[in-house]
């Protein structure tokens, strides 16, 4: 059986991330998909600039207290919360 690559390895989300995507474990791909689903379902994208995420209270804890992040910064923030 082939060894799981980094995207397939089950990881445990932090308490802050679990509040957004649910308790784990999740693969990195699942966590990313669930985070984006939360962002879209809760209207957290800036309507004038879809690349900007406007954080609600739950996302602010994932984004290190920041009120917003670009879509390119999301993986960096996600990585901090997966072990």
CA distance 21 to 30: 9
| CATH label of the domain that carries residue 22 | 1.10.245.10
With respect to residue 1, please indicate whether it lies within any of the assigned structural domains: no
Given this model, what pLDDT does residue 8 score? 83
Given this model, what pLDDT does residue 3 score? 67
Q: List, for residues 38-69, the tens digit of each pLDDT value.
A: 999 999 999 999 999 999 999 999 999 999 99
> What domain range includes position 44?
15-80
Reply yes or no on whether the pLDDT at 1 is more than 60: no
With respect to residue 38, please indicate whether it lies within any of the assigned structural domains: yes
With respect to residue 4, please indicate whether it lies within any of the assigned structural domains: no
Return mean pLDDT, the chain: 91
CA atoms within 13 A on the CB side of 24: 24
């Amino acid at each position: 059986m082939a060894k799981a690559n980094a995207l397939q390895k089950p990881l445990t989300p932090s308490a802050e991330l679990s509040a957004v995507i649910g308790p784990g474990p999740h693969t990195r791909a699942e966590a990313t998909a669930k985070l984006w689903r939360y962002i879209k379902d809760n209207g957290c994208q800036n309507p004038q600039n879809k690349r900007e995420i406007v954080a609600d209270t739950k996302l602010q804890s994932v984004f290190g207290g920041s009120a917003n992040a670009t879509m390119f910064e999301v993986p960096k923030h996600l990585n901090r919360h997966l072990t």
